Amino acid sequence: MNQSLSFIRDLGKHREASVLAMLAAVAIYLSFASDYFLEPRNLLNVGRQASVVAIVALGQALVIIARGIDLSVGSVIGLSAVVGAVLMRDTGSETIGLVGGLATGLACGVVNGLLYTRFRINPFIATLGTLSIARGIALLMTGGIPVPFGGFAEFVGAGRIHNIPVSFLLMIVLAIIVHIFAVRTVTGREIYAIGDNPKASRLAGVNIHYIRLFVFALCGLLAGLGGLILAGNLASADPNLGMGYELDVIAAVILGGTALSGGRGSIIGVIIGALLMALLNNAFVLLGISAYWQVVTKGLVIIFAVGLDGLQRRGDDD
Amino acid sequence: MYSKGATTAAGSKSVAGSSSCGPLLRARGIAKSFAGNTVLHSVDLDLHAGEVVGLLGENGAGKSSLMHILSGGLHPDSGTIEMDGQPTQIGTVSDGIEAGISFVHQELSVIGALSIAENLHLGRMPTTKRGFVDFGRMRSEAGALLSRVGASGIDPRREAGTLRAGEQQLIEIAKAAGRNPRLLILDEPTSSLTPHEVEGFFAYVRAARAAGTAIIFITHRLEEVLSLCDRLVVLRNGAIVSERRPAETTRQQLITDMTGKPAIYEYRQRQLRETTLALSLRQVCDSDHLENISFDVREGEIMGLFGLVGAGRTELLEVIHGARPLASGEMALFGTPVRHRDPSAAVRNGIALVPEGRKTAGILPQHSVRENAAISSLRRFSGTLFSDRKGDVTRMEVYRHRLGIRMARDTQPISTLSGGNQQKVIFARALMADPRILLLDEPTHGVDVGAKSDLYEIVVREAERGLTVLIASSEVPEILALCDRVAILSKGRLAGILSREEMSEDRILTMAFKEH
């Protein structure tokens, strides 16, 4: 018992490696269990499914590293898609639609950031509020009826370059940019610092209000992009789009080794976490298991991931 | 001169009126080290029923470690503890409480959202026959406990969070008193009490002594131990260096025992060439605590900021550093009026702070030594969007030598360094930002004597290079060792400024008590 606990704790210390191992294990199992799994079409599909969660998780990871949390990303996905589609329908301009969708995401992020930094509302509560508000606005704007969304958004969401989904390529490019941003830039390093010890960082001269506002704004922007991809893929912006996505996104971030207590986490881990979530979804489809079990399993995976974190940090609390 | 060997016999003689058999508690050869750092070398200590022992020593002398070992919070590496002549294993704090040992910590652990009565009965609340909490009984018992420790004026129904720090301290003492301990350990119990509260608390200690409780009283206030204690034990660098009777010793002798020399660090007379005013404060007020504080600090000067707990030292530094809003008044930096909204603005303007509370406000525990040192100067050395990582390595190397930071690699987590070395890294962080004014808030709290004099050396050296230093301290010897002048605060007001020639421990303390 003790031995297995310490083994799990060791696993927790190299979280990227352990999540990668889990990813490999699931993949190997599936390649035996399903003839269809290794088909390029299926693999690319998994990549496409992972891309939206991963792109939004990039922003969420920075928020969590800075010791915040953004519960509103699922609703922001929906609202951005709806605003983009409605603007495109009403103006007839694809550009206005796309820019409007992204701007909506950014605006939601800025609102979250201001609620936190200016009005000192705990981000858990503030984003719980915007979760509801953004979803409500999306429903009000459409009367609950999906809006058609085609053109460039459809290319980003469903298109392929050399047979590789555009959204998957976008995920890779963004992951590289955010990774370099997080480890190399001054702002990136300050994000880690304020997550580790906000009081000490503030006294050391880090502008914590600016950094917090920045991470929430970026998270909102990426959620907006996620909304455009998701709606483009379906060629339609459903006001209920992205419902429940916050769970997948936060799970991917935590699975990837980011500490909910802040200050620790890597972008590579987040991407692996998102791929693992997509692979699990794929597994249920391929193995023909009830989608209801999928919901249960998602919860179990989250508890397992956070449990790893708790075991590893056990010494700190006692 | 030291009477270490003879204590056992001498100690029992002082016990007036209690049984003449052996000591209540006998500790022998207690040793403890942390990560190769020895904090206690084979300490022997006897405690008798009905005796008040004053435990003196500098920060880092080993007082807390010793008390944690006696109360079960720490395991000694070697040594034995006997109670009533029987060898005892005090494995945990609850074992200690079981054995009748209560430790009132310096850090308050009152639960703010509960009433005082509930706080006093935590873990042992009385219940009615039906199994509900018996509030009436709890209240009357709480009232009785409070009047025992001289706090009868406090209503036990009040929420504990609404109490002042001093009142909360009395609650902690009442909590311990409620257990009727055989050995009561009090760590700096009077630091936040008013003189009136101190009197009531002393009356409780005397009553407990008469009832046969052994009491260990830790404090930095020498007058208090001299008037209250039966025996004074001085720890230095983890060993007992003297045991004395209050009637047969003096303050000066105790200070010498504690520091090993008349003064830990000799003040060096410095000629201030500069007449430029680095910092001037005019009628500075914050929203609740500071009132009309005005003084100037010259370039290259080391200015002390002394005051008792609650005098406003930290608050004033926070105002200067932008962490606390300036409600009214003016502040000028080298003749230019400034008003900082945030510490980030102050750091850009050349004001760096080494904050009080290394763990809570200083270190980034999950970051490496190098990252910890660089955090204040990231923006300064980054020409572009990207941080200057090569430069960070070079600068760390420079400051490692300049401040004598002992570490294996600069990529090791800062939490693996000793307290003194961590504090040096925080100094390095502040100095890397190339400040014009360095604010130090209790810079040597909780660091050992060696690191302390290193830090003093650093402060003086930087001042000689022209850095202006403002150092807030609650330790008079620290002020005397370092400062060219000292501003004394009392209850949020400036009680006075003393120049080097006028400075003495008595005058500083008298001024600090002025408003009390």
Average per-residue pLDDT for chain A? 88
Where is the domain boundary, B211, B233, B259? B259
Residues A79 and A288 sit within 8 Å (Cβ to Cβ): no
Residue among B347, B367, B385 whose CB faces A193 most closely: B367
Question: Could you read off the pLDDT of B256-315 as tens digits, one per residue?
Answer: 788 776 555 667 777 776 678 899 999 999 888 888 999 999 999 999 999 877 788 889
Would the pLDDT of A178 be above 80? yes
Residue B501 DSSP class: T
In-domain check, residue B501: yes
Same domain, B124 and B250: no
The sheet carrying B468-473 orders its strands as B351-354, B437-441, B468-473, B302-306, B485-490, B493-499
Sequence length of chain A is: 318
Confidence band for A9, pLDDT divided at 50, 70 and 90: low
Q: Which chain A positions have a beta carbon within 8 Å of B429's beta carbon?
A: 204
Where is the domain boundary, B202, B226, B259? B259
All structural domains of chain A, each given as residue ranges with its CATH number in brackets, are 12-309 (1.10.3470.10)
In-domain check, residue B498: yes
Residues B368 and B453 sit within 8 Å (Cβ to Cβ): no
In angstroms, rounded to a whole number, what is the distance separating the alpha carbons of residues B166 and B197?
8
Same domain, B93 and B197: yes
| Candidate from A59-73, B292-306, B372-386, B447-461 with smallest mean pLDDT | B447-461
Confidence band for B10, pLDDT divided at 50, 70 and 90: very low
Question: Could you read off the pLDDT of A216-241 as tens digits, one per residue?
Answer: 999 999 999 999 999 998 889 999 99
- Selected for mutation to probe chain A from B314, B344, B376, B416 (highest A CB count within 10 Å) is B344
Would the pLDDT of A46 be above 50? yes
Contacts of B4 (CB under 8 A, 6+ apart): B44, B240, B242, B243
Q: Which chain A positions have a beta carbon within 8 Å of B387's beta carbon?
A: 184-186, 188-189
Question: Could you read off the pLDDT of B79-105 as tens digits, one per residue?
Answer: 999 988 888 888 888 888 888 999 988
Where is the domain boundary, B401, B434, B467? B434
Contacts of A9 (CB under 8 A, 6+ apart): A311, A312, A314
Same domain, B46 and B191: yes
Instruction: Kindly tell me the burial class for residue A33, based on how many C-beta atoms sit within 10 Å of its own C-beta (0-12, 13-18, 19 or more).
Output: exposed
- How many Cα atoms are found within 13 Å in the side-chain-facing hemisphere of B184? 28
The share of chain B scoring above pLDDT 70, in percent, equals 92
Same domain, B237 and B318: no
- Provide DSSP, B116-154: HHHHHTTT---B-TTSSB-HHHHHHHHHHHHHHTT-TTS
Question: Could you read off the pLDDT of B28-66 as tens digits, one per residue?
Answer: 999 988 766 788 888 999 999 999 999 988 766 788 889
Question: Could you read off the pLDDT of B478-509 as tens digits, one per residue?
Answer: 898 899 999 999 888 899 999 988 888 888 88
Contacts of A43 (CB under 8 A, 6+ apart): A37
Q: A117 vs chain B: nearest CA distance in angstroms?
A: 13
Would the pLDDT of A63 be above 90? yes
Same domain, B305 and B330: yes
Give the count of Cβ contacts less than 8 A between chain A and B: 80
CB interface of B with A, residues 395-454, below 8 Å: 429, 433
Q: Which chain B positions have a beta carbon within 8 Å of A185's beta carbon?
A: 385-387
* Cα–Cα separations (whole angstroms), residue B251 to A306, B53, B321, B365: 56, 16, 37, 39
In angstroms, rounded to a whole number, what is the distance separating the alpha carbons of residues B58 and B90?
26
pLDDT of residue B14: 40
Domain encompassing residue B134: 112-162
Residues A127 and A112 sit within 8 Å (Cβ to Cβ): yes
Residue among B365, B376, B382 whose CB faces A204 most closely: B376
For chain B, how many structural domains are there in total? 4
Residues A11, A12, A15, A20: is their CA dihedral positive or negative? positive
Residue with structure tokens 């930290």? B314
Would the pLDDT of A41 be above 90? no
- Selected for mutation to probe chain B from A15, A181, A199, A203 (highest B CB count within 10 Å) is A203
Q: Which two tokens stand for residue B411?
A: 């990529």
pLDDT of residue A312: 63
Same domain, B71 and B86: yes
Residue A43, amino acid: L
Q: Which chain A positions have a beta carbon within 8 Å of B347's beta carbon?
A: 204-205
Residues B133 and B127 sit within 8 Å (Cβ to Cβ): yes
Same domain, B370 and B499: no
In-domain check, residue B171: no
Question: Could you read off the pLDDT of B211-245 as tens digits, one per residue?
Answer: 999 999 988 777 888 889 999 999 988 899 999 99
Average per-residue pLDDT for chain B? 85
Element (H, E) at B298: strand B293-298
CB interface of A with B, residues 263-302, below 8 Å: 263-264
CB interface of B with A, residues 169-228, below 8 Å: none
Same domain, B68 and B22: yes
In-domain check, residue B394: yes
In angstroms, rounded to a whole number, what is the distance separating the alpha carbons of residues A146 and A85?
9
Instruction: Kindly tell me the burial class for residue A179, based on how many C-beta atoms sit within 10 Å of its own C-beta (0-12, 13-18, 19 or more).
Output: middle
In-domain check, residue B60: yes
Question: What is the number of other CB atoms lying within 10 angstroms of the CB of residue B289?
Answer: 20
Q: Which chain B positions have a beta carbon within 8 Å of A200's beta carbon?
A: 355, 360-364
Using a CB–CB cutoff of 8 Å, tell me whether A207 touches chain B. yes
Does A263 sit within 8 Å of B367, measured CB to CB?
yes
The share of chain A scoring above pLDDT 90, in percent, equals 58
Question: Could you read off the pLDDT of B102-119 as tens digits, one per residue?
Answer: 998 877 788 888 899 998
Would the pLDDT of B2 be above 60? no
In 3D space, the residue among A152, A159, A154, A135 whose CA is nearest the CA of residue A82 turns out to be: A135
Confidence band for A313, pLDDT divided at 50, 70 and 90: low
In angstroms, rounded to a whole number, what is the distance separating the alpha carbons of residues B502 and A228?
73
Q: Which two tokens stand for residue B312?
A: 């406003």
Nearest-Cα residue of chain A relative to residue B365: A196
In angstroms, rounded to a whole number, what is the distance separating the alpha carbons of residues B100 and A45?
68
Same domain, B18 and B105: yes
CB interface of A with B, residues 177-196, below 8 Å: 184-190, 192-193, 196
Question: Could you read off the pLDDT of A114-165 as tens digits, one per residue?
Answer: 999 999 999 999 999 999 999 999 999 999 899 998 878 788 878 888 888 9
pLDDT of residue B265: 64
In angstroms, rounded to a whole number, what is the distance separating the alpha carbons of residues A196 and A203?
13
Same domain, B485 and B496: yes
In-domain check, residue B264: no
Instruction: Kindly tell me the burial class for residue A40, based on how many C-beta atoms sit within 10 Å of its own C-beta (0-12, 13-18, 19 or more).
Output: exposed
In angstroms, rounded to a whole number, what is the distance separating the alpha carbons of residues B209 and B203?
10
In-domain check, residue B295: yes
CB interface of B with A, residues 282-321, below 8 Å: 321
Residues A282 and A30 sit within 8 Å (Cβ to Cβ): yes
Residue A54, amino acid: A
Residue A150 or residue A29, greater confidence: A29
Same domain, B367 and B402: yes
Q: What angle do CA A146, A150, A151 make, to 5 degrees?
A: 160
Would the pLDDT of A211 be above 80? yes
In-domain check, residue B175: no
Question: Could you read off the pLDDT of B326-350 as tens digits, one per residue?
Answer: 999 999 999 999 999 899 999 999 9
Q: Which two tokens stand for residue A311?
A: 């075991």
Contacts of B236 (CB under 8 A, 6+ apart): B57, B58, B61, B257, B258, B259, B260, B449
Confidence band for B420, pLDDT divided at 50, 70 and 90: confident
The share of chain A scoring above pLDDT 70, in percent, equals 92
CATH of the domain at B337: 3.40.50.300
Instruction: Kindly tell me the burial class for residue A166, based on how many C-beta atoms sit within 10 Å of its own C-beta (0-12, 13-18, 19 or more).
Output: buried
Does B378 sit within 8 Å of A204, measured CB to CB?
no
Same domain, B378 and B242: no
Q: Residue A13: what are its φ and ψ, rounded to 5°?
A: -75, -25
Question: Could you read off the pLDDT of A245-303 as tens digits, one per residue?
Answer: 998 899 899 888 888 888 889 999 999 999 988 888 888 888 888 888 888 888 888 78
- Provide DSSP, A72-90: THHHHHHHHHHHHHHHHHH
Using a CB–CB cutoff of 8 Å, tell me whether A120 touches chain B. no
Bridge-based pairing state of the strands B78-83 and B183-187: unpaired
Would the pLDDT of B18 be above 50? no
pLDDT of residue A201: 95
Question: Could you read off the pLDDT of B115-163 as tens digits, one per residue?
Answer: 999 988 887 888 888 888 888 899 999 999 999 888 888 888 988 888 8
Mean pLDDT across the stretch B413-428?
Answer: 89
Sequence length of chain B is: 516
